[in-house]
Structure 1
Amino acid sequence: MFTVDEYLASIKTNLAQHTDVLVNNLKTIAEATFAPDVELLDFSAFIEPSRHDLSIMFFSMDREANEVFEEAGTPGFAGSESMLDEAVYYHVTSKSSDDFDVFHEEHEEILIEQERQLFTEWFSTCWQQAGGEQVQLPAYFNVHDEGETFDLKRQIWMDEEEKWD
């Protein structure tokens, strides 16, 4: 039988196994010198619920919501980088898969919100461990296509569109 508390505790445990990889990759970003056109740092989590994994991508952006790419002769970094690839955040055996699907559907509203919060808190902690607070540019974390973003400097949720202002 599945419970909300056990499910969320398991996610925390599984995410912790990926902390070192994420922190090391974030250090590369936190220590980078960025191209002049880069105006904000955008980290997006891509969640694959059927496999219970997430990937995190970094994008260097301008204020018009355009990704900034490296150009020959321009000093500094620009572009996108994978921060984490297909990290499993929950394990379900094939035998209990149907029961898990029923559990998740019954508790979907609370679970989706709690999953997002756990991913965000974990990412934010990793960002701080990597020295992210030293980065002068604004930095944001979001779950892809959710409509809200987390401001890593101010530690607040905001509408996705506000980061482009």
Structure 2
Amino acid sequence: MNIEQEFSEKVQEHLQALTASMKPVLKELIGYDYPKEVVSLEFEIFADGFTQGFPVRAFFMDSNDSEYFVYINGEAQYPSPVEPELLKIEYVYPYELEEKYTNQDEDFDPWSIAINELIQWFSECWREMGGESFQLKANIAPHDNDQAYNLVDSKWEER
């Protein structure tokens, strides 16, 4: 087994351990009655987040592709039943795991492997919680990427 496969399997193990925590969060997001201004949920993945918390953040977007907020007593709040950070955890996997593989091969790219595994895992959790019947658009993608994975239609798209 090469180090990419080995690292990939380790990331999968760490993500699987988060499934029980992630599913209820996604179920709430999928079942929530959003303000009419919200047309899309955009989940952005921040690569440094794997070893520092949870790398995915939810954005609630309007038809102008701007982040939408609800104002309550003059204070901006997210139009969401859950926090945009989704999970409050120390890390998906410890920094030492990345370090082990980058020390073996200086060209090793842990983030693209981790991001691919995360998108696959996240979309599975999304589908299992009924996400294919979600009435708005929903995508997940690495931060500042020109392609996004459409969670409702289960396919990659330009954005």
TM exceeding 0.5: yes
Aligned length: 152
Greater per-residue strand proportion: 1
Match of 2:68 in 1: 68
Q: 1:93 to 1:119 in 2, by over 3 A?
A: closer
Instruction: Give the Cα separation in 2 of the matches to 1:86 and 1:20.
Output: 13
TM-score under structure 1 length normalisation = 0.77
Kindly provide the amino acid, as one letter, of the partner of residue 92 in structure 2.
Y
Contact 2:50–2:91 at 8 Å: present in 1 too? Answer: no
Q: Does 1:84 align with 2:57?
A: no
Instruction: Give the Cα separation in 2 of the matches to 1:119 and 1:104.
Output: 22
Cα RMSD, aligned residues only: 2.8
Residues 49-64 of structure 1 aligned to structure 2 (within 5 Å): 51=51, 54-64=54-64
TM-score under structure 2 length normalisation = 0.79
After TM superposition, give the deviation of residue 43 of structure 1 in Å.
1.2
Instruction: Give the Cα separation in 2 of the matches to 1:106 and 1:78.
Output: 41
Contact 2:139–2:148 at 8 Å: present in 1 too? Answer: yes
Identity of aligned residues (%): 21
Contact 2:146–2:158 at 8 Å: present in 1 too? Answer: yes
Task: List alignment gaps of at least 5 residues for structure 2.
Answer: none
Instruction: Give the Cα separation in 2 of the matches to 1:64 and 1:103.
Output: 46
Q: 1:4 to 1:103 in 2, by over 3 A?
A: same
Q: 1:92 to 1:104 in 2, by over 3 A?
A: farther
